[in-house]
Amino acid sequence: MSAPEAGRWDVIVVGAGFAGSLVAQRLGDQGWRVLVLEAGQGEPEGAAGHRAAVEAYRSAAVKVPNAPYRTTAAAPSPSVLDLSGRAEGGYRSDGYVVQRGPLPYASGYLRANGGTGLAWTGLAPRMHPEDFRAGDFGHGRNWPIDYAELEPYYRAAEREIGVAADVAEQREAVGLPFPDGYAFPMRAIPRSHLDQVLADALDGKCVQDPAEEVPTPLRVVGTPHARNGLPNPGYQLEGNLCSGHASCVPICPAQAKYTPLRTQARWSASVTLVTRAVVSRVRIDGNGRATGVEYRTYEGDDHPTGIAERRADAALVVLAAHAIENAKLLLASGAANSSDQVGRNLMDHPVLLTWGLMPQQVGAYRGPGSTSGLEGFRFGAARARRAPFRVEIGNWGWTWALGPPDLRVAELLRSGGAAGRGLFGPELRRTLGDRIGREIAFQFEMEQEADPANRVTIDPRHRDALGNPRPVLHYDLSEYVKRGIVAAKAVSDQLFALLGAQDHTRFEPGPAWPGYFEYQGRPYAYRAAGHGAGTHIMGDSPADSVVDAWQRCWDHPNLYAVGCGSMPTVATSNPSLTMAALALRSAERIHHDLQGLAREGALSP
Amino acid sequence: MASIDEFIAASAELTGFGGAELWATGMAEVYWAVVLEEAGAAAVGRLVAEPLGEGERELARAVAGLWYLGSWSVAGGVPVVVSSAAYERGLVWRAFGGQAPGTGPRGHGSWTVEPERSR
């Protein structure tokens, strides 16, 4: 069966999310004919689609990251709602992803045009130079490239997605090198009132990290954002200024947050997007070259209909479908796995949340989800002893830890008051008015080291509605990560004490905490940041890595796997900016490869 | 049958917001219809007669929850958001001088200023 997109392309890009949209844009700008195949559906499109998605968010009973966006049974998306904890400890998983590990992989992702980049939080910090050699500390791996190599691409990515930050603060307080005279495209997003209250109480104080020999000094530091701040000279703002809707995850009503749809709007006419096109296999010829892909198109959301088998041919194929989906596709294709590392080294950011009530009103539930953090636990010798972590100061009260205020309201109505029969009337109003605006949370994002035992596999017994394999995950937290969580909790205890805040943190097994575990006799629980990585890990040898420093599969000279799946360490920064920088760097190499193929006459006109 | 005015008076007693404040949300008629539909006239009659009595305590919780959150929730059930407007006008945000996330734009940097309630 033929389709408009049949025929031979210069490049096929699988996945129209963060990395795929960037690669397609750069290659389209060079005049290459690019076919982008997106498994999910194409909404929200245009202004009306955006409004509909905002309405869907506001009307959703549970405002999880995927809530505003339509998903389809033909390209299922895992949701955080798929997981629940058991009363006796342990978890159950009922979604698209099959989970078999001792602990759950607790992140979702979104298969739709724009990908998880629609729902992302929009924080865009760089990795630190030390993060590229995490293996030197005895845990995880080193990168085949260093910070200096990636630095120009960080700048390019910051321009492409539009990053707002203060270069002097990033240089001084995070230790990041920048070229002289560099300015981010936009001025820093203003810090929240809560950040200021915390800075007044914490800056210059110290806490004792149990893994450190000396106390760690505290400083509240602004975080780079991929959302619109006031533009610096020479930068043209796209979309509106951030107006503090406090719903960055899952949707920015003002469209101030970057999403891949913004990059797609810049695509040249030589880029063709087909949505509802689920790639099932990369075709590899006898010489190990990728020749194209097989895919199925479909209609309908809940029940796929009109399913059609299709194929497309290209000189070069780029997989950009998400770390887990890329691994699934490579495994289903029998591709790129001479190292036996495809699907292994699955990483995420396990997040320890702690929450409490400040002594005064702090203006919770305003502004971006986090505008500042504490950077002092990310680097240094302690990294050899426990996982490093970045501390995000949460502006949205207890949302991530316990959900929005709904549950607190319900609890007061059920069991508040002197008799424990419910709180009503002026006392209810006063109690809520007093408490909700004092809610604060710390979000400790832990580095998880590459461990080959944490992995994605496929199993012919588990298939989705189109017959494609569902990802089967085995996931756990190492002693290294758990020691990091112990250190983070100790830091949290001291932060609450310095703030004079009431610590309400409490971990117990049950439905709300699938990531519950006990360690050294104490209860802990984690959530996850949606930062899946490592499944087609990058390295300097085909013996123990899947892709080279260009994200090109060692086994196939014209097959690239791009995205967070290539990262040898997920470090402690939110990974999307690094993914973007890597994608832009790969696009240059792909352009070079295509020029070579054209010279050899391997491209059809 | 109870009237909408009796419903608002009962709601004021349950929520701690005055009748005029409840009318000002713009949700009064919608909620009146939701409550009648979900609970039935007889139960609503008992509630408005004695809002804080023991007889209709579950209904009292559901009605207060409706005003505070914009969603209808009964014990053991999954909450249903009445509409995006209901979510936006939930009293829980008003109670501390905030706004429902994802609604009503403020200005760039509005989150830097001290919240009104603390002044």
Per-residue pLDDT tens for A362-396? 999 999 999 999 999 999 999 999 999 999 999 99
Residue-wise DSSP of A208-265: --TT-SSPEEP-EEE--BSB--PBPTT----SPPP---S-TTT--TT--B--HHHHHT
CA distance B47 to chain A (A): 14
Q: pLDDT at residue A77 above 50?
A: yes
Q: Which residues of B touch A246 (CB under 8 A)?
A: 99, 101-102, 111
- Cβ atoms of A253 and B105 within 8 Å: the answer is yes
- B92 and A432 in contact by Cβ < 8 A? yes
Test the B interface: residue of A189, A252, A255, A365 with most B CBs within 10 Å: A365
Chain B residue nearest residue A196, CA to CA: B112
Mean pLDDT (chain A) is 96
pLDDT in tens, A298-322: 999 999 999 999 999 999 999 999 9
Lowest mean pLDDT among A249-258, A535-544, B15-24, B97-106: B97-106
Give the pLDDT confidence score for residue A6 in this predicted structure: 62
Instruction: Tell me what the mean pLDDT of segment A161-166 comes to.
Output: 98
Both structure tokens of A367? 């502004």
Give the pLDDT confidence score for residue B75 in this predicted structure: 78
Interatomic CA distance for residues A387 and A383, integer angstroms: 6
Give the pLDDT confidence score for residue B105 in this predicted structure: 79
Instruction: Tell me what the mean pLDDT of segment A272-295 comes to.
Output: 98
Give the pLDDT confidence score for residue A527 in this predicted structure: 98
CA distances from B74 to A413, B17, B49 (A): 11, 21, 20
Q: Is B111 on the interface with A (CB under 8 A)?
A: yes
Query: CA angle A598-A599-A601, nearest 5°?
Result: 65
Other C-beta atoms closer than 10 Å to the C-beta of A504 total: 17
Q: pLDDT at residue A4 above 90?
A: no
- B68 and A364 in contact by Cβ < 8 A? no
- Cβ atoms of A531 and A565 within 8 Å: the answer is no
Handedness of CA A321, A326, A329, A335 (dihedral sign): positive
Both structure tokens of A274? 């087909």
Give the pLDDT confidence score for residue A1 in this predicted structure: 38
Interatomic CA distance for residues B119 and B98, integer angstroms: 14
- B111 and A247 in contact by Cβ < 8 A? no
SS3 state at A135: helix
One-letter amino acid for residue A585 of the chain: R
Backbone Cα Rg of chain A: 24
Other C-beta atoms closer than 10 Å to the C-beta of A89 total: 14
Q: pLDDT at residue B117 above 90?
A: no
First and final C-alpha spacing in chain A: 22
pLDDT in tens, A315-352: 999 999 999 999 999 999 999 999 999 999 999 999 99
Interatomic CA distance for residues A169 and A577, integer angstroms: 18
Q: pLDDT at residue A462 above 90?
A: yes
Q: How many A-B residue pairs are in contact by the CB < 8 A criterion?
A: 168
CA distances from A411 to A355, A402, A403, A420, A452 (A): 17, 12, 13, 10, 43
Chain B residue nearest residue A230, CA to CA: B108
Q: Is B50 on the interface with A (CB under 8 A)?
A: no
Give the pLDDT confidence score for residue A559 in this predicted structure: 98
Both structure tokens of A266? 């810049």
Interatomic CA distance for residues A14 and A562, integer angstroms: 10
Other C-beta atoms closer than 10 Å to the C-beta of A182 total: 14
Q: How far is CA A365 from the centre of its chain?
A: 22
pLDDT in tens, A99-134: 999 999 999 999 999 999 999 999 999 999 999 999
What b-and-e string marks burial along A133-146, b requiring 16 or more CB atoms within 10 Å of the CB? bbeebebbbbbbbe
What contacts A392, CB < 8 A, 6 or more positions away? A123, A223, A370, A373, A442, A443, A444, A445
- Widest CA span of chain A, in angstroms? 84
pLDDT in tens, A189-207: 999 999 999 999 999 999 9
Q: pLDDT-based confidence at B119, cuts 50/70/90?
A: very low
Q: Which residues of A touch B110 (CB under 8 A)?
A: 243-244, 366-367
Lowest mean pLDDT among A197-206, A446-455, B49-58, B68-77: B68-77
